[in-house]
Amino acid sequence: MSKGSVLPQYIAGLSASFGALCMGASIGWSSPVENMITVNTEYGFPISSSQFGWVSSLLTLGATVICIPIGFAIDWIGRRPTMLALIPPYMVGWVLMLFAKNVTMLYFGRFILGMCGGAFCVTAPMYCTEITATALRGTIGSFFQLLIVSGVLYGYLVGAFLPLLTINILCAILPVIFAIIHFFMPESPVYLAMKGRNDDAAKALQWLRGKDADIDDELKEILEESQKQIDMPQVNILSSLRRPIVLKGLGIAVLLQVFQQWTGINAVLFYSASIFEDTGSDISGSDATLIIGVTQVTSTLVAVAIIDKAGRRILLLISGVLMAVSTALMGVYFQLKENDPASMDNFGWLPISSICIFIIFFSIGFGPVPWLVMAELFSEDVKSVAGSIAGTSNWLSAFVVTLLFPILKSSIGPGPTFWIFTAIAVIAFFYSLFFVPETKGKTIIEIQDLLSGGKGVKSDDKSQT
């Protein structure tokens, strides 16, 4: 029988992940418009540096507060309807940004944009892993991170060459494009089976695998797993989250999200322009952000291509080592320059190359893998809420790191600050080595077996032993 087509899975995965591009554009918006609205006052009213700091950081705060509520919403109304329901508030956020008459309107606009983007960060990775065949789960699950960094680059590009009004309009149309595309995508067959809509689940799965595909075995597995969840004694979500296997998965998912942020990615991204300027480089701040944006997208494309071949853990390990080395070198450079500025005149290439190494290896490991693993580790009854807790830890960490970096940089110096990131990257390496299970090519049943202390052996392998 025909194995069907993988193309519908790629289309649906890219469609859902387009919401991440919307969030990435909001993140990328901050860097190029800073001088436009603080120095040139292109909004027509003054904005101080501290006020701009809040304009930037309210995006991450909005994402932080929405993750847990959206975890309940995607179980109540579904994955696809939840993502489509985010479009009206997304447009409200951009309307506030477009027609802001005072800084308060900017605050509310950025907070709303952050809420919508944070909601996508929980919903899209879950949808992508649920619609995808096991062999493609890593690749399509990594689309989310790819579209985030593509959105950041989009924000950098339009910001580098266009006026503020045009920038805002080009960012505001992205959610509309998402709505038009995703409207034609199916709901997750896993969610439909959970709700007892077995015929709809079969139709959705057939669309995703191709009209000629034999879906009988896969549909049977989905329905059996869903029935098992339905037949389990009904307990409240807090009791479910306290199950040892869930707590173990939650610990892994949360810590990977925390490591993603506390190894310094947002500090490097948000302050890359000033880092380039601190080195005396001839590269302008806007050129620096474009270089970093292109590097991120290219490296994440590599991760998408290899993640289902190499596996999750090995990418985390390589990523952790190289991030530790690059932040250590940045710390050495800035510490020596602080002690004797003239001694580093010929070494301006060192922090620039270190930043690029950091970005490359973050993008193949700790960039995409935490989002993917977050969507892989949990059974259906707790996946939404557990994933939302992990997402909350990510955005809260992003807010704290972004807030603390300039404070630490001025109080203890840039060198020791980067060494803190080095120490965290080393911890992340050893945590990944000893505690993170390899989920490549495993079904949810096999992953649950791994978490409970088994070997996660494939069912067909077990039958041969």
pLDDT digits (tens, 9 = 90+) for 15-26: 999 999 999 999
Separation CA 98–CA 169 (nearest Å): 7
Among 97, 79, 87, which Cα is nearest to 180's? Answer: 87
Tell me, what's the pLDDT at 420? 95
Residue of higher predicted confidence among 12 and 235: 12
Residue of higher predicted confidence among 164 and 242: 164
Asked if 59 contacts 72 with a C-beta cutoff of 8 angstroms, the reply is no
At residue 330, does pLDDT exceed 80? yes
Task: Give residue 135's pLDDT band: very low, low, confident or very high (50, 70, 90).
Answer: confident
At residue 367, does pLDDT exceed 60? yes
Angle at 73 between CA 72 and CA 75, to 5 degrees: 70
Tell me, what's the pLDDT at 271? 62
Architecture of the domain delimited by 236-453:
Up-down Bundle (1.20)
Asked if 386 contacts 241 with a C-beta cutoff of 8 angstroms, the reply is yes
Tell me, what's the pLDDT at 431? 96
At residue 52, does pLDDT exceed 90? no
At residue 76, does pLDDT exceed 60? yes
Separation CA 260–CA 365 (nearest Å): 9
Angle at 29 between CA 170 and CA 125, to 5 degrees: 85
Separation CA 219–CA 198 (nearest Å): 9
**Residues 60-75: what's their mean pLDDT?**
89
What's the distance, Cα to Cα, between the start and end of the chain in Å? Answer: 28
Asked if 459 contacts 448 with a C-beta cutoff of 8 angstroms, the reply is no
Domain residue limits, the chain: 7-185, 236-453
For 441, counting Cβ atoms within 10 Å of its Cβ (0-12 exposed, 13-18 middle, 19+ buried), the class is middle
pTM for the structure as a whole:
0.84
Residue 279 tokens, joined = 């080195």
Residue bearing tokens 């001025």? 410
Q: Which residues contact 446 (CB under 8 A, 6 or more apart)?
A: 456, 457, 458, 459
Asked if 21 contacts 154 with a C-beta cutoff of 8 angstroms, the reply is yes
Separation CA 399–CA 444 (nearest Å): 32
Architecture of the domain delimited by 7-185:
Up-down Bundle (1.20)
- The model's pLDDT over 143-202, given as tens digits with 9 standing for 90+, comes to 888 999 999 999 989 988 899 999 999 999 999 999 999 999 999 999 999 888 999 999
**Residues 121-138: what's their mean pLDDT?**
88
Among 456, 71, 439, 46, which Cα is nearest to 256's? Answer: 439
**Residues 356-381: what's their mean pLDDT?**
88
At residue 464, does pLDDT exceed 50? no
Lowest mean pLDDT among 34-43, 57-66, 313-322: 34-43
**Residues 134-140: what's their mean pLDDT?**
86
Asked if 245 contacts 448 with a C-beta cutoff of 8 angstroms, the reply is yes
Torsion angles phi and psi, residue 254, rounded to 5: -65, -45
Tell me, what's the pLDDT at 56? 84
Separation CA 127–CA 201 (nearest Å): 14
Residue 300: C-alpha distances to residues 67, 223, 406 (Å): 24, 34, 27
Q: Write a three-state SS string for the chain.
A: CCCCCCHHHHHHHHHHHHHHHHHHHHHHHHHHHHHHHHCCCCCCCCCCHHHHHHHHHHHHHHHHHHHHHHHHHHHHCCHHHHHHHCHHHHHHHHHHHHCCCCHHHHHHHHHHHHHHHHHHHHHHHHHHHHHCCHHHHHHHHCHHHHHHHHHHHHHHHHHHHCCHHHHHHHHHHHHHHHHHHHCCCCCCHHHHHHCCCHHHHHHHHHHHHCCCCCCHHHHHHHHHHHHHHHHCCCCCHHHHHCCHHHHHHHHHHHHHHHHHHHCCHHHHHHCHHHHHHHCCCCCCHHHHHHHHHHHHHHHHHHHHHHHHHHCHHHHHHHHHHHHHHHHHHHHHHHHHHHHCHHHHHHHCHHHHHHHHHHHHHHHHCCCCHHHHHHHHCCCCCCHHHHHHHHHHHHHHHHHHHHHHHHHHHHHCCHHHHHHHHHHHHHHHHHHHHHHCCCCCCCCHHHHHHHHCCCCCCCHHHHCCC
* Same fold yes or no, 7-185 and 236-453: yes
Q: Which residues contact 409 (CB under 8 A, 6 or more apart)?
A: 271, 417
- The model's pLDDT over 293-303, given as tens digits with 9 standing for 90+, comes to 898 899 999 99
Separation CA 443–CA 312 (nearest Å): 14
User: How many Å separate Cα 227 from the centre of its chain?
Assistant: 31
User: How many Å separate Cα 126 from the centre of its chain?
Assistant: 12
